[in-house]
Amino acid sequence: MMATINAGTSSVRGKVIIVTGAASGIGHATCELFAAQGAKVVVADLNQVGIDTLVGDIEKSGGTANAFQFDVSDAAQCQRLVQHAVKTFGRLDVLVHAAGICKPRPLLELSNEEWCQTLRVNLDGTFFLTRDVGKVMATQKSGTMILLTSDRGVFGSIDYAHYAASKGGMIALTKSLALALGQYNVTVNGLNPGMTDTPLARGANPTNWDAKVASDVLGKASMPEEIAQTMLFLAGPGGQYTTGQILGTRIRHGQ
């Protein structure tokens, strides 16, 4: 259930934000929070029903949102998403890029197709999208991007080597974007959300969810709404001198 809009003092009131992966989990919660704070939200995902439902809910609560169905692994569709956001709302202030896939498979059993699909969606897609967002923000001389990366991209993984490689690539891309775009007053950061209770995380840990949660340093999974609050901080004044950083939400036990 969305909060009623009460964005009088919000730092993102009136800002234009694209959220990818908006139909589920962290992206969905981010759309709800930023809309409740008075941002104009482009709700983007593969899942048409999911984004239409969310836009309806945001509008019913008095917020401003617009649905755009796209596949992040297609460069032309990423370009159309960015053009759509600028055409609809006149500018682009924030990108939260949460679209991604994570399917477990032991490293030695990984097929070429599984490897390529994960790299295509998670890494190639991030490049296609951030390149086009970067051009708009560089021209505006302002903007911020927050990319959902992962601890696995730092530490590696036995059963998610393809996912870990894609997230490691995203981390390097985050730093490269920050270096390239700092001169244009554009900041770019990665956020490793830690174990967060979403369909992706539950699907990646189908038999050992409770044990995984128990091993978390706080003894619980974060909720998507809590990760959305971290994004709100990064997109607001608190994050304005932070760029090229990969933020984790909590310490992990030894690998």
Ligand X SMILES: NC(=O)c1ccc[n+]([C@@H]2O[C@H](COP(=O)([O-])OP(=O)(O)OC[C@H]3O[C@@H](n4cnc5c(N)ncnc54)[C@H](O)[C@@H]3O)[C@@H](O)[C@H]2O)c1
Q: Could you list the residues that contact ligand X (CB under 6 A)?
A: 20-21, 23-27, 45-47, 70-73, 98-102, 121, 148, 150, 193, 195-196, 198-201
Pick between residue 136 and residue 231 the one whose CB is nearest to ligand X.
231
Pick between residue 69 and residue 140 the one whose CB is nearest to ligand X.
69
Q: Which two tokens stand for residue 127?
A: 């490049």
Nearest-approach distance from CB 165 to ligand X, in angstroms: 13
Pick between residue 67 and residue 121 the one whose CB is nearest to ligand X.
121
User: Side chain identity at 120, as an amino acid letter?
Assistant: R
Q: Under a CB-based contact definition with an 8 Å cutoff, are residues 243 and 180 in contact?
A: no
Return all residues near 45 (Cβ < 8 A) that are at least 6 apart. Answer: 20, 21, 22, 23, 24, 27, 51, 69, 70, 99
195: Cα separation from own chain's centroid: 15
Rounded Cα–Cα distance for residues 128 and 133 (Å): 9
Pick between residue 68 and residue 89 the one whose CB is nearest to ligand X.
68
Q: Considering all CA atoms of the chain, what is the largest pairwise distance in Å, rounded to the nearest integer?
A: 54
Pick between residue 182 and residue 199 the one whose CB is nearest to ligand X.
199
Q: Under a CB-based contact definition with an 8 Å cutoff, are residues 51 and 23 in contact?
A: yes
Q: Which two tokens stand for residue 95?
A: 């990108």
Q: Under a CB-based contact definition with an 8 Å cutoff, are residues 190 and 100 in contact?
A: no
Which residue's structure tokens are 């070429």?
Answer: 112
Per the annotation, the verdict on 160 as an active-site residue is no
Q: Under a CB-based contact definition with an 8 Å cutoff, are residues 102 and 199 in contact?
A: no
Nearest-approach distance from CB 83 to ligand X, in angstroms: 17
Residue least distant from ligand X (Cβ): 25
Active site amino acids = 163
